Chains A and B, each alone.
Chain A
Amino acid sequence: MIREYELNIGPNHPGIHGNFQVHLKLEGDTIVEAKGNSGYLHRAFEKLMEQRTYLQNLALIPRVCVPEPDINEAAYAMAIEELMGVEIPERAKFIRTIVLEAARSMALLFHFGGTAAMIGNYTVNYWAVADRDLMVDIFLKLTGARVYHMYIWPGGVRRDTYPGFEDDVLGWVKYMKERLPEYDNLFFKNPMFMHRARGLAKISKEEALQMGVTGPNLKATGVKVDVRLDEPYAAYPYLDFDVPVLDDGDAWAREIQRRLEFELSLNLIEQAVKKMPKGEVWKKMPNPFKWVIPEGEAYARVESSRGEYGYYFVSDGTDKPYRVAIRGVSMPHMYPLAEKLLIGQKLSDAPFILETLDICPPEIDR
């Protein structure tokens, strides 16, 4: 006799990346229906941004995406620069690239720690969080804060780098390149990981394109789409790189895709540090306490560690924004995709599948 019952992968759960709920209907051990329930982190950013001036908003926007706050500042700054028609100096472009790639590698390390803990490999969490903390120290010396930097401004970056910055960053990159074979032996080439993740929760290429999926989830199915190649911003036109693509589409391919992108990030940081020119870092905007942006609309997008992240801006010529709409990356990953992928899987695989999709709940609720 198979019994039917309902369970919650609820808000109080050590196996989810944040605070959201998935309501499951089960028959025995197999999932029959899954429905998501968001709203536990809703702060109404789009309403709060209309009540503050452009300068006051800079303190509010890093808090939208918690593990990787620099992408918010970059997208906001790029949208305002497009509306005002301002071109930033060369040195600022290279500093922005180094900061964004370092933030991407920190977010990927945090992700590896959480995913490995879902199949019982707790050592990766200890190693990854400690290695990430060494880069947080460099950010503390550069910007003054550990988590919310507020460093990338419209017009460039807030201040120049401290003497010794290049040596510190290159030292961290060299250390991580020596550590990567140890991570491989511990997690990526571990037979337990391969046994559990091969063939699990497969997405096909057509399904992914239809549902609006972007980032490593899409590149693991064989489609090469990346904002850094399609619409290059910051210093990417001067760097020489290519984006890896895998073919399988299952949970194993998504994790290996992220590990290859981590290695690419380290190479890009090295290239950017060596090619960085000297010069000024901020192009002064007129009237610093009351920026008035001309009328118009703009959509600025960046490539975060999860996919395409964008800000759609509408301005009406006063000193406060008229409407800001945030394109969160995880909205298409949760709402059509995760609810379909979980049907037919076992209950003990469900947190692992949700972690390999890398869903960040604050981007859905805003």
Chain B
Amino acid sequence: MELQETLEEGYVEILDHLRKRSLWMLHYCTACGAIELPPTITSRFDAERFGIAPFVTSRQSDILLVTGYINIKTLRRLITVYEQMLPPKYVIGFGSCTINGGIYWDSYAIVKRLDLYLPVDVYIAGCMPTPMAVLEGFRTLMKLIDEGKANGWKKYQENYEYYKENQRKVLKW
């Protein structure tokens, strides 16, 4: 039994080392921050040398990038898109509006904390973050995957009732 467990853990570790160099990002431009994504992906601040490329469907991507403020109408669709992705999957919060509401703190249509509704692995601060800050955020995510600490999707499965209760309260489902 012990030998089998050690072999399984070693198998997962090797997969993590390989997986971190081929993460595909879902191309869903949620809000403001999407204007700094084309410079990051194209030839000047090339993100493809790390293996990160944009892809169109949610069923075949690994990273959900929430770029900017979160409106209530968008949050309903974001949760559906997140549940369509297959594990292992990672969420990156982009910009200071996902951390504590940002400049729209007194608006009646903007949600202030993203991590009550979806499990977030990495936050990138700034308004807007420059492309170099975005690349630094991607590298932090790659380091966390390497050490086995990027477990947002496991937290979502274990605390499913907690997340669903928060979503029901604010979205009136």
Interface residues of A (CB under 8 A from B): 10-12, 14, 18-19, 39-44, 47-48, 51, 59-60, 63, 66-67, 110, 113, 125-126, 129-130, 133, 136, 146-148
Contact = CB atoms under 8 A, between A and B. Distances in A.
17 contacts: A12-B28, A12-B58, A14-B27, A14-B56, A19-B31, A39-B73, A40-B73, A41-B31, A47-B108, A48-B106, A48-B107, A63-B103, A129-B44, A130-B42, A136-B39, A147-B36, A148-B127
A42 B38 contact: no
A135 to B, nearest CB: 12
A66 B29 CA distance: 12
A170 to B, nearest CB: 22
A40 B44 CA distance: 30
Given A12-B28, A48-B107, 19 more contacts: A10-B77, A11-B77, A12-B26, A18-B29, A19-B30, A19-B74, A41-B71, A42-B71, A42-B109, A43-B71, A44-B109, A48-B104, A66-B34, A130-B42, A130-B43, A133-B44, A146-B130, A147-B36, A147-B128
Contacts of A129: 38-39, 42, 44
B110 interface: yes
B15 interface: no
Interface residues of B, number: 34
Contacts of A18: 29, 34
Contacts of B35: 66-67, 147
* Secondary structure class of chain A's binding surface, majority of residues: loop
B53 interface: no
Contacts of B44: 129-130, 133
B81 interface: yes
A248 to B, nearest CB: 30
Interface in B52-94: 54, 56, 58, 69, 71, 73-74, 77, 81
Contacts of B54: 14
B32 interface: yes
A118 to B, nearest CB: 13
Most buried by A among B58, B73, B104, B106: B73
A206 to B, nearest CB: 36
Contacts, number: 77
A148 B130 CA distance: 12
B42 A126 contact: yes
A43 B38 contact: no
B37 to A, nearest CB: 10
Contacts of B58: 12
A43 B69 contact: yes
A130 B34 CA distance: 16
Nearest to A44: B107
Most buried by B among A44, A59, A136: A44
Given A39-B73, A67-B35, A60 B108 contact: no
A14 B58 CA distance: 12
B68 to A, nearest CB: 9
Nearest to A63: B32
A60 B128 CA distance: 13
A51 B35 CA distance: 28
Given A11-B74, A60-B103, A129-B39, A43 B109 contact: yes
Nearest to A134: B44
A151 to B, nearest CB: 16
A12 B81 contact: yes
Contact of A42 (B73, B106, B127): B73
A110 B42 CA distance: 13
Contacts of B81: 12
A108 B104 CA distance: 29
A67 B31 CA distance: 12
B28 A43 contact: no
B117 to A, nearest CB: 16
Given A12-B58, A66-B32, A125 B74 contact: no
Given A39-B73, A63-B103, A147-B36, A44 B108 contact: yes
A69 B87 CA distance: 38
B15 to A, nearest CB: 28
A150 to B, nearest CB: 12
Given A19-B29, A40-B73, A40-B74, A47 B107 contact: yes
Contacts of A130: 42-44
Interface string B95-131: 0000000011011111000000000000000011010
